[in-house]
Amino acid sequence: MKLLQQFSDDLEELVARASPAVVGVEHGRGHGTGLFLTPDGYVLTNRHVVRQSRKQTVTLSTGEERKASFVGGDAPTDLAVLRAEGSDFPTLPLADPKDVRMGQLVVAIGNPFRLEQSVSLGVVSAINRSIALPDGTLLEGMLQTDAAINPGNSGGPLLNTRGQVVGLNTLVLPYAQGIGFAVSATTAAWVASLLIQRGKVERRFLGVAARAVALEPEHARDTGQPRGVLILQVQQGTPADDAGLQPEDLLLGINQRPVGSVDDVQRLMALSLHPEVRLDVLRKGRRRELSAYVFSGVKPAAA
């Protein structure tokens, strides 16, 4: 009983610390949730929460309403940034991706059905899920959770027991019970940064279909990384084709930085300011470096 009481007390304290940084987002007939990224009012939420309007209202945990303007949105990750009027807002830290694991306890805070500051508890059921949306968009690197998520939770934080954001609650499977998905904090961090700086995410199109895979033990030992990105298909006439990428190649790094997911590939290419990217590839047990000259363009179905 003492352990349960301690867990309950710790959970209560976590919610009390985190809730002031969580806001309700209203735009006409729609509603959702968001969280403060910076003290000067930048709010992270889901793009589908705000896509119908460029004028929103955010509701603080105290019930006070603030006007907010649309900063930018990114359809392939379903993320958006608003800026609320005011300053000195409390914020929530983003978790290190290395600290996000299956089975980890998580807490969701949001406004389901306009029930403000609702809290639910669950676990990280899986990581690196790929979810296809009805409009054809493929959301990569998603976290799966059994924490209760309902309409209105979208854009709200999924927190670990340290009070760090591991993901942004985004959707549930309508035909299932207890299967929800959150955009990972890793994705949220780089997308939000670009939206704040540039108002949009300019993607550099490589021209492959790919998926994250665990490396075989000997390859993991030799490369020093547990995961890579398996190239499934290379589209003709694309930068990947010109660079000499082939199906079954394992992409290990871009510009001397390791990649372990499709999201890593998109992130490193989007952050690169040079048209040429260096690809570290493992092909039939041998490593090689390829050069690809990439260009901007949003191609959600490919990396």
| Torsion angle (degrees, nearest 10) of CA 30, 148, 81, 88 | 110
Burial of residue 294 (CB within 10 Å: 0-12, 13-18, 19+) is: buried
Residues recorded for the chain: 303
- Based on the residue annotation, tell me whether 296 is a catalytic residue of this protein: no
- Based on the residue annotation, tell me whether 154 is a catalytic residue of this protein: yes
Which residues are within 8 A (CB) of 254 and not within 5 positions of it... i.e. 6 or more apart? 264, 265, 268, 269, 272, 277, 278, 279, 280
Catalytic residue among 154, 249, 261, 263: 154
- Based on the residue annotation, tell me whether 48 is a catalytic residue of this protein: yes
Identity of the amino acid at 61:
S
Phi, psi of 254 (to 5 degrees): -130, 125
Catalytic residue among 27, 31, 74, 78: 78
What's the rounded Cα separation, in Å, for the pair 160 and 124? 9
Residue whose C-alpha is closest to residue 187's, from 199, 170, 174, 172: 170
Active site residues: 48, 78, 154
